[in-house]
Amino acid sequence: MSALKADPRAVPLRDQSHNFYGLGTRMLDLFEEKEICAILRRTFVTRAADIALHAGKAGATDDMGVGAGEEFLRGLEEWERKLFKKAHDGTKGTKEWMEGVKKH
């Protein structure tokens, strides 16, 4: 929790748990911990911005999972991986749509 408070982006959540947020929300079902709730929320929002940034770069270059991108993906837990995939697919779809518009 201390590391997440300091910088949520620096913590490889997958090393903690493959379903980190699922586990965290389950803990919140069992225990009323406002601090944990705040940390989870801040962590997800902060990391989601990074995920969107990386997904956009991967979509722009079609380089999903090579080098630094692969290292970034390795630290994501399951909800984050799903978010990355959706953001990547959206960026890729938008790029394909724009190319189609330019042809006409």
60: Cα separation from own chain's centroid: 17
pLDDT at 59: 55
Task: Judge whether residue 69 has pLDDT over 80.
Answer: no
pTM for the structure as a whole: 0.79
| Rounded Cα gap, residues 98 and 12, in angstroms | 35
| Rounded Cα gap, residues 8 and 43, in angstroms | 5
Closest by CA position to 6, among listed 42, 41, 49: 42
pLDDT at 60: 56
For residues 44 and 60, the model is more confident at 44
Q: Residues 20-57: pLDDT tens digits?
A: 999 999 999 998 889 999 999 999 999 999 999 999 88
pLDDT at 85: 93
